[in-house]
Amino acid sequence: MSRYIAMLVVALTCILLIRSTAQAHVVCGDRIFPTTLTMDDPGVGDEVSLPTLQFTPTPNSQNNSYGFEWDKTITKDLTLAINDDYATQRSASQHLAGWDNITLTLKDQHPCLTRYSHEEAVWSIGVIRLIPGTGSTLLRNAGAIAKFGSTAPTFYFGKGMGALTNGALRPIAITGEVSRVFSDRQSLSPNAWSYAASLQYSMPYYQQNVKALNIPQWLTRLTPLVEVSMMSPDAGTPTGTIAPGVLYDAPSWQLGAEAVIPANNATRQTQGTGFIIQYHMFLDTFYKSWFGKPLINKNLWRK
């Protein structure tokens, strides 16, 4: 537990040290789509999630992970992301610890629809590659991490409800992703469909585009949300989670926390209700060097 507290202190210290007046990167019309925790958002940018702390109880052990993700823009619309987790598994009989396999994501964002500010629609396409053999041999032999790689073409989308006439409903937004996961060894690890969605209510949007409320500023930076993530293998039972929580958006960083609840009986047999905490930084808001701008200053969708 002392290690968990130490990592939280580090994250909060980083929060107190960072100041900026810029905004998050996934902007479409009046809408800013925040970074979600159990699924990816539909945008690209120079950013880093560090740390992402996830605590998951199982029937026989406590599984925790301490992760990171770094996204680097190649062009204005194309980004390459690398993410990994240091995983621990503690039970009455053993304690396992080590790095998970590395995952690489190449994602390209299409220009959002901006003929009218209230369209608030954006989408991206990408491919996710799980690289086998890059994680801990101890965890792999124990069956705690994947033994085989996979490749997943993925579609991402986001849609804000700014066109609705009811002002109280306009802050609502949905985001989602759909992947077809192709396994390197289908006979031992079947192909699968992976799909996820989030339902969000943006207080920043309400404050700026609907009605300014006379409430504490920190409340105007909150986005309550629910994320649902499912995995449906070609051979086997679907599993997934429901993650209600809240995001706090500052000008150059975001802090989020969610409960992670099993979505069906098959998932409940393997894990209980856990939680996830993530500190996310938008590097382009305070780095104007290589870390905060594209390698090539061009958008592949525009001349």
| pLDDT tens by residue, 225-239 | 999 999 999 999 999
303 domain residue, yes or no: no
Domains in the chain, number:
1
Q: Are 273 and 55 in contact (CB under 8 A)?
A: no
Lookup: tokens for 32: 């800013």
120 domain residue, yes or no: yes
What pLDDT was estimated at residue 22? 41
User: What CATH number corresponds to the domain at position 225?
Assistant: 2.40.160.40
What pLDDT was estimated at residue 116? 62
60 φ, ψ (degrees, to nearest 5): -120, 0
What pLDDT was estimated at residue 302? 77
What pLDDT was estimated at residue 49? 95
89 domain residue, yes or no: yes
What pLDDT was estimated at residue 5? 42
33 domain residue, yes or no: yes
Residue 168 pLDDT level (bands cut at 50, 70, 90)? very high
Lookup: tokens for 6: 């130490």
Residue 289 pLDDT level (bands cut at 50, 70, 90)? confident
What pLDDT was estimated at residue 115? 65
- 117 pLDDT exceeds 60? no
Listed residue (124, 47, 123, 56) closest to 82, CA to CA:
47
Average pLDDT value for residue range 31-50: 94
Q: What is the mean pLDDT of the chain?
A: 90
Counting residues of the chain whose pLDDT is more than 70, the rounded percentage is: 90
What pLDDT was estimated at residue 88? 95
Give residue-wise pLDDT tens across range 16-26. 444 433 445 68
9 domain residue, yes or no: yes
Range(s) of the domain holding residue 133: 2-292
